[in-house]
Amino acid sequence: MVTFFICIVVLVLGYYSYGLICERVFGIDRNRVTPATALADGVDYVVLPRWKSFLIQFLNIAGLGPIFGAVAGAMWGPVAFLWIVLGTLIAGGVHDYFSGMLSLRHSGKSFTEITGHYLGASLKQGMRILTFVLLIMVGTVFFVGPAQILADLTVEWLSVVVWSAIILAYYILSTVLPIDQLIGRLYPVFGAVFLAMTVALGVAMVYGGLPVPEWSMDMLSNNQHIHPEKFPVFPMLFITVACGAVSGFHATQSPLIARCLRHEGQGRSVFYGTMVTEGVVAMVWAAISMSYFGGIRELNVFMDERSGNAAMAVNEICTGLLGRLGGILAIIGVVVAPITSGDTAFRSARLLLADIFNFNQKAIKNRLLLALPMFAVAFAISRMDFGVIWRYFAWTNQTLATVVLWTVAAYLIRSSKNYWIALIPAVFMTNVVVAYILIAPEGFSLPHGISYGCGLLVGTGLLLYTFFYIYRRKKREVPVV
């Protein structure tokens, strides 16, 4: 368990060190007027206390990803610990902090519009489509998953369809009502439940003396997945563990809170801090998953026999560690997490459409005009196989994260700031998403060597293009804020 504690300490220290570096590179101005004050409308632009902004942002980003993703990622063994820690601090934290702060500097706009500002109109259109698809997929995944769990816990007539309808009704309200009326009131309670669940499981793991495996150098070359030939560590692990390391979905959520901050000094705790907190959650679930079933091999057998259904592993772990009552309470925490990401996914999709069409959202009828068709589409998608939706969600999610990191790198280059802080993870994630879609069964199923080579080629090409394109435009009229 030494590796687990070292990883937790590194994550916490990383917030106070690398998080501070990100803040200094960006260059905050505590006296700058924020969108929450300058554009206050009582609906989306509302000043909230920092603690409330933190909890809302945390619950926005901490859906099924750091739980289901960490459980599935644990099948590769302790190498997952390394990705969670480094991914959180060097990729995810950078991604979340700069996407949130750039939205803050650009009137709380969706990141698709910011991408167009720094990388051009063509990429902006592509980002709009990619982001909207991701948000609808997230909203769908994050009501189908909880509905399945709740259906297993309740009486027979409360089926998956019934629970889906109940959750969707809540989603409609949270999407169209002012942010401080429903989300602002419920999230502090939900946040306390979710964090209490994570702490309870962590304490039970330590107190119970579960044999959490230790990390060693040979873990980098020792793929412990039950199907290593189909699931190589690179790139499969880096797609599977997304929300606990780096996730494009987070950039879709940051504008919600960028419209609620009182001053720029709150950005590090609200954006970088929530990413680190999510990394801790992923560490807890990865460690428990590797140890609860008796070892990594046993976890692989359990998951393989259940077609990779992480929900069944979560149910088993919660009930086994905390007893029947404690397990139910923990599962409620697990259910709360995706619901509080799904609702803001739809809210973000509404705001994205409003930005695209310049459609004023002050009147509730305008909000409903954008929201209701989205829910109809989501319900139709929900009738598809959950596993298929999840896999495409994961790849789309990481592809969006890659584009966000390239946008941040472009901003830093044009601002004559330390662009390597974003450029290195951008190149790495480019390799990941290209190699994945070429290797994966749901992709092109190409040989590993060809896939890795293409990933490297695309990453290098984008690196050269970014330098050439951004430096060429550096002195043009587009302002840097």
Contact (CB, 8 A) for 250 and 99: yes
pLDDT of residue 478: 53
* pLDDT of the residue at 331: 67
Which of 171-175, 330-334, 472-476 bottoms out in mean pLDDT, i.e. has the lowest? 472-476
CA dist 365 → 26, 177, 358, 360 (Å):
39, 11, 15, 10
Residue 475 has pLDDT above 60, yes or no: no
The DSSP element (H or E) to which 349 belongs, if any, is: helix 310-357
For the chain, the distance separating the N- and C-terminal CA atoms, rounded to the nearest angstrom, is: 45
Q: How far is the C-alpha of 95 from the C-alpha of 405, rounded, in Å?
A: 6
Token readout for 301 is: 């057998």
| 472 CB neighbour count, 10 Å cutoff | 9
Beta strands of 246-361 (E only): which ranges? none
Q: Please check whether residue 172 lies inside any domain of the structure.
A: yes
Taking the C-alpha atoms of residue 466 and residue 282, their distance in angstroms, rounded to an integer, is 33
Mean pLDDT of the region 188-193: 75
The CATH number assigned to the domain holding 303 equals 1.20.1740.10
Q: Is 368 inside any structural domain?
A: yes
User: Total structural domains in the chain?
Assistant: 1
Nearest residue to 303 (alpha-carbon basis) of 233, 386, 356, 227: 227
Cβ contact 272:96 at 8 Å: yes
pLDDT number for residue 428: 93
User: How do residues 112-142 score in pLDDT, each as one tens digit?
Assistant: 889 888 887 877 888 888 888 888 887 777 7
* pLDDT, average across residues 184-193: 74
- Evaluate whether residue 376 is within a structural domain: yes
Residue for token digits 């040979």? 218
Quickly state the pLDDT bin for 101 (edges 50, 70, 90).
very high
pLDDT band at 390; cut points 50, 70, 90 = low
What is the residue range of 209's domain? Answer: 2-213+250-391
Tokens 């949130």 sit at which residue? 100
Lowest mean pLDDT among 41-45, 290-294, 413-417, 461-465: 461-465
Domain-embedded: residue 16:
yes
**pLDDT tier, 479 (very low <50, low <70, confident <90, very high otherwise):** low
Establish if 422 belongs to a structural domain.
no
pTM: 0.86
Does a structural domain hold residue 14? yes
Q: Is pLDDT above 80 for 107?
A: yes
Which of helix, strand or coil describes residue 47? coil
Inside any domain, residue 415: no
Measured CA to CA, the distance from residue 237 to residue 70 in angstroms comes to: 10
Give tens-digit pLDDT for 57-96.
888 787 667 888 899 999 999 999 999 999 999 999 999 9
Q: Is 349's pLDDT higher than 90?
A: no
**Are the C-beta atoms of 294 and 87 separated by less than 8 Å?**
no
What is the C-alpha radius of gyration for the chain, rounded to an integer number of angstroms? 21
For residue range 292-338, list pLDDT tens digits in order. 999 999 999 999 888 777 777 887 888 888 887 676 666 666 677 77
Q: How far is CA 30 from CA 33, 401, 409, in A?
A: 8, 27, 23
In a domain, 265, yes or no: yes
User: Per-residue pLDDT for 29 more than 90?
Assistant: yes
Most confident of 6-20, 237-251, 403-417: 6-20
Question: Per mean pLDDT, which range of 13-27, 262-276, 372-386 is the poorest?
Answer: 372-386
| Alpha carbon distance 136, 240 (integer Å) | 19
What pLDDT was estimated at residue 223? 87
Count of CB atoms within 10 A of residue 107's CB? 17
Peptide bond into 235 cis (omega under 30): yes
Indicate the residue type of 302: F
Count of H helices and E strands in the chain? 20, 0
